[in-house]
Structures are given as structure tokens and as C-alpha cells.
């Protein structure tokens, strides 16, 4: 199975060098919490009549655990990821062709730009693999929310956790069977901030 590991933020590549857009973090940083949300809404909800799930994000998972867990939800997962990865490699090659056909650049500028792309090729591919696994986790979460009619997911507040719930909300609101969502930050009885994803809220 394809491996997971952290790469870094999105690279911006040109004839002038390689820069990194820190605001676009590697999706790897979201994987452990996302897979735990998937496990929580599946395992806990099916043993309860409640529509409320609370996820505590303290415990750590290893990369191989994430891959093995996700494969139980999608048997042909690795084949799908490899196919999608190949499409991304084609995208990189098409970017090289664009540089080669960019007549506003001289030969040296083209050479430097293409060389920079090739230097970052493995980095970009691994970053894309991390993103693809993240997307597949979000899709698996969406499927369970639909099937089990989950109405709310709560998780302790952080910007990272907010981002994951936004990804879930975006997937739920996209497509033919779109579902309205809302995300709120509230204070719980212990005085701690909690992020709530409300699904089909009655507001």
C-alpha cells in the first residue's frame, strides 16, 4: 500500500525559485483526527440511539493504522489512489509542457523552471497522495452521516478541527443529495470551547 508521511505546505514553483505557501498546509496534518471522526460516528452511533457524537482527539494513531482502517471502508482504496495519483503525475507533466510552450520565457528560464518542477516532483506527489487519502476519509464520513442520519458532530475546538468539519460540511452540501449544515463554536459546561457541526439544523 502507498505510504503516508508529512511533506509540507504547497510549493509555488517558477523560474525564480521554489517558495512555500504556508496557508495551504499538507493534508497529512488532518488525517489522524479525520479517521477518528470516521471511527467515532460509525462505532458509537450504531450502538446508541443518540444523534450526538463527541470526539476526543487526544489519542494518537500511526500512519499504517490510518491506511488499514480506511481500507476496511473502501476495499479497492489503493487502486483508486494509484489511479488518481497517475492523473496528478499527468498534471505535473502538462505543467512542464506549458513552461516549454511559454514563449515569453527564454531557454534558460524554461530550463530553470522545469528543473525546479522536477526537483519538487516527489514532494508534490506525496503531498497529493496525502490529500487523496484525506478526501477518501471525508467521503467515508459523508456516507455514514447519510446512512445513519447523524445530526451533530462535536469536537474540541482548534483551527485544525474546524478545518476538518468544514471539509465534511462542504462535502455534505455538494452534489444532488446536498444537506444543509452549520458550524458553531460554543462553550461547554467545563468552560472549554467545542466546535459543533450541525447537520440539517432547524435554525
Predicted local distance difference test score (pLDDT) of residue 45: 44
CB atoms within 10 A of CB 134: 22
- 141 domain residue, yes or no: yes
pLDDT at position 1, please?
60
Cα angle, residue 181 at apex, residues 152 and 75 outer, rounded to 5°: 70
DSSP β-bridge partners for residue 10 = 21
With a CB cutoff of 8 Å and minimum separation 6, the contacts of 186 are: 193, 194, 196
> Of 98, 83, 73, 158, which Cα lies nearest the Cα of 128?
83
Is 2 domain-assigned? no
**pLDDT score of 189:** 86
Number of structural domains (the chain) is: 1
Cα→Cα distances 55→5, 34, 143, Å: 24, 10, 18
pLDDT of amino acid 54: 53
**Conformation bin of residue 37: beta by default, left when phi > 0, alpha when psi is -120 to 50:** alpha
Residue 3 inside a domain? The answer is no
Whole-number Å distance between alpha carbons of 121 and 114: 10
pLDDT single digits (tens) 34-81:
998 998 888 654 555 444 555 555 557 789 989 999 999 998 999 999
Confidence (pLDDT) at 61: 79
Highest mean pLDDT: which range of 48-57, 154-163, 194-203: 154-163
Give the mean pLDDT of 143-153.
91
Report how far residue 49's alpha carbon sits from residue 81's, in angstroms, rounded to the nearest whole number. Answer: 35
Mean local confidence (pLDDT), 177-189:
91
CA distance 117 to 121: 6
26 domain residue, yes or no:
yes
In a domain, 5, yes or no: no
Task: Say if 76 falls within a structural domain.
Answer: yes
- Is residue 93 included in any domain, yes or no? yes
Q: Is residue 136 part of a domain?
A: yes
How much is the pLDDT for 12? Answer: 97
Apex CA 50: angle with CA 44 and CA 53, to 5°? 50
Looking at every residue in the chain, the average pLDDT score rounds to 89
Q: What residues make up the domain containing 42?
A: 10-199
Arithmetic mean of pLDDT, 175-189? 90
Separation between Cα atoms, residue 199 and residue 129, nearest integer Å: 29
Query: What's the pLDDT at 77?
Result: 93
127: how many CB neighbours lie within 10 A of its CB? 23
pLDDT band at 181 (very low <50, low <70, confident <90, very high): very high
pLDDT of residue 49: 44
Closest CA to 14 of 120, 147, 162, 141: 120
Amino acid at each position: 500500500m502507498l505510504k503516508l508521511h508529512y511533506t509540507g505546505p504547497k510549493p509555488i514553483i517558477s523560474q525564480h525559485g521554489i517558495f512555500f505557501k504556508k496557508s495551504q498546509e499538507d493534508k497529512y496534518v488532518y488525517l489522524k483526527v479525520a479517521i477518528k471522526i470516521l471511527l467515532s460516528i460509525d462505532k458509537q452511533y450504531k450502538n446508541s440511539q443518540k444523534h450526538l457524537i463527541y470526539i476526543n482527539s487526544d489519542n494518537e494513531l500511526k500512519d499504517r493504522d490510518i491506511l488499514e482502517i480506511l481500507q476496511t471502508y473502501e476495499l479497492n482504496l489503493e487502486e483508486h489512489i494509484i489511479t488518481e495519483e497517475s492523473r496528478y503525475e499527468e498534471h505535473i507533466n502538462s505543467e512542464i509542457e506549458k513552461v516549454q510552450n511559454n514563449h515569453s520565457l527564454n531557454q534558460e528560464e524554461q530550463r530553470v523552471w522545469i528543473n525546479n518542477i522536477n526537483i519538487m516532483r516527489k514532494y508534490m506527489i506525496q503531498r497529493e497522495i496525502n490529500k487523496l487519502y484525506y478526501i477518501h476519509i471525508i467521503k467515508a464520513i459523508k456516507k455514514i452521516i447519510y446512512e445513519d442520519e447523524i445530526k451533530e458532530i462535536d469536537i474540541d475546538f482548534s483551527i485544525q478541527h474546524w478545518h476538518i468539519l468544514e471539509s465534511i460540511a462542504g462535502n455534505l452540501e455538494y452534489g444532488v443529495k446536498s444537506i444543509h449544515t452549520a458550524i458553531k463554536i460554543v462553550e461547554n459546561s467545563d468552560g472549554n470551547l467545542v466546535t459543533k457541526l450541525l447537520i440539517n439544523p432547524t435554525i
